[in-house]
């Protein structure tokens, strides 16, 4: 009997940990059972692939059973394809993953071609179910849930009585070491380590109860043995993969354990692989913070969920309100570790003004990136019940993003969508570092970004096609508008003169330019350019030296922390990678 496990990923770079974990577990069990007639295959697509291409590939598999891995980002594709697979292939169709398993009634009623749903961890459930299917010599056309009622972890639909049948919950897998390594292709040459993201779990479950998160449903945390973790990390390191993302919902639970993993990575690093961790910064221990001081650049990056600095909000969503401890620890994480801090818009008790306080709180921590997310009301979470009872409105279908709350209107949410665009352009991409560094000594980031957002609305900026260089023009025009209209009492005329220089410096530093915009005064001097190249010993090849450098003069020392305190003629040689 041929089993096909299908993932539809958000992008080509992503890899599906779910179908890999299940398929490799099934293959390990097949090896142990000489009588098994199961054959297991996987296919991974992307949500942007041509629909007909996906359907054809599945049909060509001639599988007896096709099971789809579902989550909010691929549901629209899966819903569309399941009925059509049934039309082109005589097959039993199932689905698993959080999206379908937390709303079986919804999906059985929508999809008449759906035969079963896997509920919870799928490795053992799939083995038991597929083995039973194979042993019973099933008929695809006479498939009946009655034969499998004693296998826990499944949902079926009794279409005669129009109700969902559950076979009960399956016990969680206690020994994660029984699950084989999910990327065996890395042990061969049949892999693409430079262009894929590899996901890795050293634990399952989460002890916390964040009301919006599905991980809060499973509070039983289980760990792989440290020996297995080290052995599997070695495979990633030996294969020189580019990025490994730990999917542990909260990585830093057991200090001795998580520090030992960090230490293994540090001591065995290959000079290439980046490891990504989701951490709760307020729970980092002193030992962990001291360890991080010796981690060089290019080895680790952290994703830290702040979500809000409003204590009432944090308590309402069952998160730790100790934001001061979080801030202290984030400040102690060295700059060699890329930090990505998250905020969520649409939470309880947070209007635009309160959200602005959270925005400034996070920006004061100077993250490498601030991700502004929007609350998603997921099936099966505490937030789903809370939102229904308290007047939230959200998307009818996946991804279930919030439209409005008792504290934010739809217009407010859309406004924050534009703030998200500006935050990404002016902070996350690091194209305006000098300008932001100077500006935020005088203005709060929230005040700046909201005034800029209002200006952009008037200019219809968000309706236009935008490239990175476009934002320099926007910011220059905004500063001119602010200067003429005295928009910021905190900025005097000299501040705007400094901002003009920092903006020019950011622009010229962003890459070699063939042309300069109308607002940009290029104070170029070829002889001085040549002299600076000579002083730096870069004139080995004159053509190359001029091609990978630029000369520019400024009225202020734009490279200093306080450029306004040093006025004069500052002639700089800008060097580009080349």
Q: What is the DSSP string of 18-79?
A: HHHHHHHHHHHHHHH-TT---EEEEEEEETTS-HHHHHHHHHHTT-SEEEEE--TTTHHHHH
For position 39, what pLDDT does the model report?
96
CATH topology of domain 2-166: Rossmann fold (3.40.50)
Tokens 């179908």 belong to which residue? 19
For position 394, what pLDDT does the model report?
98
> Who's near 449: CB < 8 A, 6+ residues apart?
359, 419, 422, 423, 426
- Taking the domains of the chain in order of start, what are their residue ranges? 2-166, 187-428
Paired sense of beta strands 300-307 and 222-223, if any:
unpaired
Torsion of CA 184, 187, 192, 195, to 10 degrees: 80
What DSSP designation does 136 have?
Answer: T
> Who's near 304: CB < 8 A, 6+ residues apart?
278, 279, 280, 281, 326, 330, 339, 340, 341, 342, 367
Q: How far is CA 434 from the centre of its chain?
A: 27
Residue ranges of the chain with pLDDT lower than 70? 138-142, 190, 216-219, 578
For position 429, what pLDDT does the model report?
97
**Domain 187-428, classified CATH 3.40.50.10800, yes or no:** no
136, 164 Cβ separation under 8 angstroms: no
The pTM for the full model equals 0.94
Could you report the per-residue pLDDT of 205-256, keeping only the tens digit for each?
A: 998 889 999 875 666 899 999 999 999 999 999 999 999 999 998 899 999 9
Helices (H), 269-310: 286-292
> Who's near 379: CB < 8 A, 6+ residues apart?
98, 99, 102, 103, 106, 400
- Give the three-state DSSP class for 327: helix
Tokens at 544, concatenated? 């190359």
For position 304, what pLDDT does the model report?
98
């Amino acid at each position: 009997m041929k089993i096909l496990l299908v993932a539809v990923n958000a992008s080509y770079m992503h890899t599906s940990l779910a179908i890999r974990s299940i398929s490799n577990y099934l293959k390990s069990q097949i090896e142990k059972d000489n009588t098994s007639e199961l054959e297991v295959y996987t296919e991974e697509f992307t949500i942007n692939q041509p629909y007909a291409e996906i359907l054809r590939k599945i049909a060509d598999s001639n599988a007896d059973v096709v099971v789809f891995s579902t989550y909010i980002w691929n549901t629209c594709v899966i819903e569309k394809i399941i009925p059509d697979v049934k039309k082109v292939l005589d097959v039993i169709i199932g689905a698993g993953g959080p999206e379908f398993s937390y709303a079986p009634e919804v999906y059985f009623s929508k999809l008449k071609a759906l035969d079963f749903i896997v509920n919870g961890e799928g490795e053992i459930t799939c083995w038991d179910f597929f083995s039973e299917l194979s042993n019973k010599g099933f008929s695809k056309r006479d498939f009946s849930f009655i034969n499998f009622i004693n296998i826990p972890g499944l949902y079926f639909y009794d279409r005669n009585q129009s109700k969902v049948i559950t076979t009960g919950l399956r016990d969680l897998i206690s020994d994660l070491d029984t699950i084989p390594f999910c990327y065996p292709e890395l042990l061969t040459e049949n892999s693409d380590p430079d262009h894929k993201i590899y996901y890795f779990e050293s634990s399952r479950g989460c002890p916390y109860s964040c009301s919006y998160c599905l991980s809060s449903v499973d509070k039983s945390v289980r760990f792989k043995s440290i020996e297995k973790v080290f052995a599997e990390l070695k495979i990633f390191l030996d294969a020189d993969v580019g990025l490994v993302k730990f999917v542990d919902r909260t990585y830093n639970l057991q200090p001795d354990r998580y520090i030992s993993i960090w230490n293994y990575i540090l001591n065995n690093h290959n000079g290439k692989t980046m490891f990504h961790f989701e951490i709760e910064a307020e729970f980092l221990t002193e030992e962990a913070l001291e360890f991080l001081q010796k981690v060089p650049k290019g080895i680790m990056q952290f994703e830290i969920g702040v979500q809000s600095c409003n204590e009432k909000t944090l308590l309402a969503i069952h998160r730790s309100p100790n934001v001061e401890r979080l801030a202290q620890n984030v400040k102690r994480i060295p700059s060699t570790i890329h930090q990505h801090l998250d905020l969520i818009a649409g939470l309880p008790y947070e209007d635009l003004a309160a959200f602005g306080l959270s925005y400034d709180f996070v920006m004061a921590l100077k993250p490498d990136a601030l991700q502004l997310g929007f609350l998603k009301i997921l099936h099966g979470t505490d937030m789903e019940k809370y939102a229904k009872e308290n007047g939230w409105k959200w998307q009818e279908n996946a991804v279930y993003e919030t439209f409005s709350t008792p504290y934010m209107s739809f217009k407010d949410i859309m406004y924050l969508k534009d703030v998200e665009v500006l935050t990404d352009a002016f902070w996350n991409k690091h194209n305006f570092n000098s300008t932001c560094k100077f500006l935020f000594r005088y203005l709060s980031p929230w005040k700046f970004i909201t005034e800029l957002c209002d200006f952009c609305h008037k200019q219809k900026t968000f309706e236009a096609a935008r490239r990175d260089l476009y934002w320099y023009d926007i910011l220059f025009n905004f500063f001119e508008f602010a200067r003429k209209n005295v928009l910021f009492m905190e900025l005097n005329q000299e501040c705007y003169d400094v901002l003009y220089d920092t903006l020019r410096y950011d622009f010229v530093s962003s890459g070699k330019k063939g042309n300069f915009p109308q607002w940009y005064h290029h104070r170029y001097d070829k002889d001085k350019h040549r002299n600076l190249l000579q002083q730096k010993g870069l004139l080995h090849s004159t053509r190359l030296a001029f091609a990978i450098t630029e000369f520019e003069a400024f009225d202020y020392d734009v490279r200093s922390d306080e450029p306004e305190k040093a006025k004069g003629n500052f002639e700089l040689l800008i060097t580009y990678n080349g």
